[in-house]
Chain A
């Protein structure tokens, strides 16, 4: 029997993988993909909770998360393309004209 806990653990694992990816990867596109992984992990948790709570709000939230993530993807890719046009790299270690 698969319970809510299983889904929440799955979502937590995926979320953590995303976080680790953001922290250790150096390619801007891959970092962005890891962020998308985090958002999708959250979606799993929303849908699972909505199912077990018998409420629609979680499902509703997922719709909005997905569209927002798509808008973010479009803007993010545009920004990365703009950086690439000026710098010819998407490695975030090389994108450092300002000190951190």
Chain B
């Protein structure tokens, strides 16, 4: 465990630095809140409407598509680890796998799953 000691020390210093600065600025900083200052920062543009709105159902579709394609990547990791010993066989397997995913992508694209309107 000794070799992890520097990491622990670094971690403590980093945490201490951040906490100290937050406390110092809270004690010594002047606070004059105005309505303008309290609005959420949206790249300098005046915010429109409330943030507590119902999301459009379209977000669900994008989220679902993301979840599916995102999680398939999990199979790439063991393949990448064992790539050297799997050689050409593993490569062809993975090409087929990605090919099937590509058909899914094509399907979503053509069915308009990626269009916002």
A67–B72 touching, CB < 8 Å = yes
Which A residue sits closest to B78, measured CB to CB? A63
Query: What per-residue 1/0 map shows which CB atoms of B67-83 lie under 8 Å from chain A?
Result: 11011101100100000
State whether A77 and B75 are in contact (beta carbons under 8 Å apart), knowing that A70-B68, A71-B68 are contacts in the complex.
no
Give CA–CA (A63, B57) in the complex, Å: 29
Residue numbers in B under 8 Å from A81 (CB-CB): 57, 60
CB proximity to B under 8 Å, residues A65-88: 66-67, 70-71, 73-74, 77-78, 81, 84-85
Give the number of chain A interface residues (Cβ < 8 Å).
12
Q: Which 5 A-B pairs have the closest CB atoms?
A: A70-B71, A74-B64, A74-B68, A70-B67, A67-B71
Q: Give me 21 A-to-B residue pairs in the complex whose CB atoms sit less than 8 angstroms apart, sorted by A's number.
A: A63-B74, A63-B75, A63-B78, A66-B71, A67-B71, A67-B72, A67-B74, A67-B75, A70-B67, A70-B68, A70-B70, A71-B68, A73-B67, A74-B65, A74-B67, A77-B60, A77-B63, A77-B64, A78-B60, A78-B64, A84-B57
Residue numbers in A under 8 Å from B68 (CB-CB): 70-71, 74
The secondary-structure label for the interface of chain A is helix
**Size range of the interface on B?**
10 to 19
Give CA–CA (A63, B81) in the complex, Å: 14
Give CA–CA (A63, B60) in the complex, Å: 24
B28 to chain A, nearest CB (A): 44
Further 5 A-B residue pairs, CB within 8 A, beyond A67-B72, A70-B67: A63-B75, A66-B71, A73-B67, A74-B67, A77-B63
Which B residue sits closest to A84, measured CB to CB? B57
CB proximity to A under 8 Å, residues B26-71: 57, 60, 63-65, 67-68, 70-71
A85–B57 touching, CB < 8 Å = yes
Residue numbers in A under 8 Å from B65 (CB-CB): 74
